[in-house]
Amino acid sequence: MIELTATELLALQASGKASAVEIADAFLAATQAREPKLRSFTSLDADAIRGQAAAVDAKRAAGKPLGKLAGVPVAIKDVLCTKGVATTCSSKMLKNFVPPYDAHVVERLRAEDAILFGKTNMDEFAMGSSTENSAFQTTRNPWDTDRIPGGSSGGSAACVAGCQAPLSLGTDTGGSIRQPAALCGIVGIKPTYGRVSRYGLIAFASSLDQVGPFAHDVTDSALLLEAISGHDGRDSTCVDQPVPEYRKTLNDPMKGLRIGVPREFFDKGLDSEVEGSVRAALKEYEKQGATLVDVSLPHSKYALAAYYIIAPAEASSNLARFDGMHYGHRTAQKTDLIGTYAKSRGEGFGKEVQRRIMIGTYVLSSGYADKYYHKALKVRRLVKKDYDDALATCDVVMGPTTPTAAFKAGEKSDDPLAMYLSDVYTVSCNLAGIPGLSIPCGFTKAGLPIGLQLLGKPFDEEKLLRIARMYEAATDWHTRRPKV
Amino acid sequence: MSLTLDQVRKVATLARLELPEDDLVRMQSQLSAILDYVAQLDELNTDGVEPLAHPLPIQNVFRPDVPTPSLLPNEALQNAPKREKGSDYFSVPAVFDSDEPVSH
C-alpha cells in the first residue's frame, strides 16, 4: 500500500477497500522501519496521526462531505508552523518552539481532511542543498543511503521517495523543492511567487520563499497544489487570483507546444549522464509534436551570484528576530542585554546560518550596500527580463534541474561555495518569481534519479502541469520505487 | 576581495553574533571566497537598470480596518525563554545598569 499514490489511496477509501486508519498504520509502519536509514522526520506523533485518521473514517461513516485530501498522509517541512506541535527549522534556536497557530497551508490541509503526518528534517532555516545543515540529523537519499537527498527540503523529498508518506510540503527559496525532488526521483513544484500564502512559514528570504508540493507523480502534485493555493489576507504578497482545478485539464496534451531550450543550461559543469537524460526527454516531446526553440538567458550565469547576495541579505534581516527574548534559545550565561543577544545567536545558530547572516550583514552594511545589494537587485531585473523575453517566444523553458545526480554525504559540507553551485539551474526561477517544477526523467548508470526542470510564465501552473504530464504519460520513471 | 579578521569581527558585532576566535578565522576565508565569487557581477554594466526588490508588480495592499482576533497573552508567552511566574510579562536581562540614572 505504501507505494501507492495519493490519488490511488483516495480511490481505495472511496471504494471501501481501505480505511484512513489502515492507510495511516501502513505508513507509520513503513516510517518506523525505514527511519533508522533515512532519518526524514524531526518529529512524528503516531497517536495524533491515528486520531486524525479515525476522525476521517468517522466522518465518512456518517456520510458527511469529505475534503479532497481525506485520509491522505501529508508530511510537513519543519519550517511551517503547526499549532501545538514543535516547529524547529532543524535549529537549536527553535528546538523547543511550539507555535500557537497554524501556517495557512497547514490550515488548508486540515480543511481538506488530510492527515498531518509528522514534521520533516531540513537544512537549518532552509539554508543548504543537502540537509546536512540540520542541527539534529542528516537525512539520506532512499536510492542510495550513502548519498544526500538534496536540500533544503531533504526530509520532505526523502519521505515521499522512500514511501514513508505519499505527499509532503516543502519550501523553495533557491531550489529547495526542485533540487531534492530531482535527486530523489519525484515531482516537486515551486509555485509562482504569490500563488501560495507564506503565513506561518518561518521566513528565510521573503521575496523568494514559496511553499510547494512533493509527490510521486504530476497528478498528485496537481492535487496538493490545488489544496494549498489561493488568497490569504495575512500575506500581503499572496495574490488574489482564482485557483484553477489543475487536475481537470491535466490529461489534455498541449497542441503546437513550443519548448525553449536555453543554451546556458547545457554549458560546462553539466554531468554528461544528466545531459543525456534531459536531451532524451526533449526528444520525447518532439516525438509528441513539440517544437524545440533555441533560447538564451544571457544573465543566468550571474543569477547565482545575485542570489547569494539577495538571499543572505534578506535572511540577515529576517533572522534578526531571533534574539532570545520572546521565544527561541536564550543563553544561560549571565551578561548584559546586547551580550545576551550575541551569545544566544552564537549558541543557537549553526555554521551555515551564521555564515549567511554574516554575508547578508556585510552586503547591506554602510558603504557596501551599493556595491553588492543594489547591484544584485539590478541583476535580478535583468534575470527576470531574460525569462520574460524567452517565454514570449515559447510556452515553457526546459533544462536539467541539477548539474549532477545526488552527491555523497560529506562531499561538499566543508566547501560552502561548492555546495552553492548545486543550485545553479534553480535560483533564477526564484529571482524571477516564476513557477518551476522538476519531474523524474531517468537514472544514472549507478541508479540515481535525474530531474527535468520546467519553467513557465507567472501563474501558468496549469499549463506547466499539463506539459509535465505529457512526458510522464509516455514514461514510467515516476512509477519506480527504491528498495530501502 | 579578501576581508581582514578585524572586518569579520566588526560584521559579527553588527550581526549580534558572538563567535569563538577560530570560527572567526574560518569565516574570514569562507566569506572572502564567497565575496570573490559574487564579485563577478562587477563585469556586468547595470547603468540605468531599475533595481528589482520583488518579483510581483504589486504596490500597497490595503485591507479594511476591522479588528480581528489576535493571540491571547498566555499564547504569546508560552514560548518565552523566561517569564515572571503568574505574570503577563516576558522576563529579560536588565537594559540599564542599576546605578545608572534613568530619565523618564
pLDDT band for B98, please (50, 70, 90 cuts).
low
Distance (Å, whole) CA B23 – CA A352:
12
Most distant CA pair in chain B: distance in Å? 61
Tell me if A442 sits within 8 A of A477, measured CB to CB: yes
Cell of A109: 490541509
Angle, vertex CA A86, rays to CA A83 and CA A88, nearest 5:
125
Name residue, grid cell 561555495: A417
Identify whether A289 is part of a domain: no
pLDDT tens figures, A148-206: 999 999 999 999 999 999 999 999 999 999 999 999 999 999 999 999 999 999 999 99
Q: What letter does residue A256 receive in the DSSP assignment?
A: T
Distance (Å, whole) CA A213 – CA A228:
9
> What residues make up the domain containing A141?
6-258+393-479
The CATH number of whichever domain residue B12 belongs to comes to 1.10.20
Per-residue pLDDT of chain A (484 residues; tens, 9 = 90+): 999 999 999 999 999 999 999 999 999 999 999 999 999 999 999 999 999 999 999 999 999 999 999 999 999 999 999 999 999 999 999 999 999 999 999 999 999 999 999 999 999 999 999 999 999 999 999 999 999 999 999 999 999 999 999 999 999 999 999 999 999 999 999 999 999 999 999 999 999 999 999 999 999 999 999 999 999 999 999 999 999 999 999 999 999 999 999 999 998 889 999 999 999 999 999 999 999 999 999 999 999 999 999 999 999 999 999 999 999 999 999 899 999 999 999 999 999 999 999 999 999 999 999 999 999 999 999 999 999 999 999 999 999 999 999 999 999 988 888 888 889 999 999 999 999 999 999 999 999 999 999 999 999 999 999 999 999 999 999 999 999 9
Give CA torsion, residues A52, A56, A62, A63, to 10 deg: 160
Active site residue A206: no
> What residues make up the domain containing B35?
5-43
Distance (Å, whole) CA A470 – CA A282:
11
pLDDT tens figures, A297-343: 999 999 999 999 999 999 999 999 999 999 999 999 989 999 999 99
Identify whether B70 is part of a domain: no
Determine phi and psi for A80, rounding to 5 degrees.
Answer: -105, 125
Structural domains of chain B, count = 1
Query: Chain B residues with CB inside 8 Å of A302's CB?
Result: 40-41, 44
Structural domains of chain A, count = 1
Chain B contact for A97 (CB, 8 A cutoff): yes
Identify whether B26 is part of a domain: yes
Nearest to A302 among B41, B90, B92 (CB): B41
Identify whether B81 is part of a domain: no
Chain A contact for B89 (CB, 8 A cutoff): no
Query: Chain B residues with CB inside 8 Å of A306's CB?
Result: 38, 41
Active site residue A268: no
Identify whether A122 is part of a domain: yes
Catalytic residue among A152, A156, A168, A300: A152
| The pairing of beta strand A258-262 with beta strand A187-190 | unpaired
The reported pLDDT for the residue numbered B1 is 66
Tell me the residues of chain B between 66 and 85 that have a Cβ less than 8 Å away from chain A. 71, 75-76, 78-82
pLDDT tens figures, A287-309: 999 999 999 999 999 999 999 99
Nearest to B49 among A326, A378, A431 (CB): A378
Res B99 pLDDT > 70: no
Identify whether B38 is part of a domain: yes
Chain B contact for A357 (CB, 8 A cutoff): yes
Which ranges constitute the DSSP H helices of A75-188? Answer: 104-111, 154-161, 178-184
Strands (E) located in A65-143: 73-77, 115-120
Identify whether B65 is part of a domain: no
Identify whether A113 is part of a domain: yes
Identify whether B33 is part of a domain: yes
Distance (Å, whole) CA B53 – CA A49:
41
Active site residue A130: no
The reported pLDDT for the residue numbered B93 is 86
ipTM of the complex: 0.92
Strand, coil or helix: what is A211?
strand
For the entire predicted model, the pTM comes to 0.97
Q: Could you tell me which residues are beta bridge partners of residue A21?
A: none
Binary contact (A324, B63; C-beta < 8 A): no
Identify whether B9 is part of a domain: yes
Strand, coil or helix: what is A433?
coil
Residue to substitute from A95, A308, A323, A326, interface B, most B β-carbons within 10 A: A326
**Cβ contacts of residue A214 below 8 Å, gap of 6+?**
A153, A156, A157, A160, A167, A168, A169, A170, A177, A180, A181, A186, A187, A188, A221
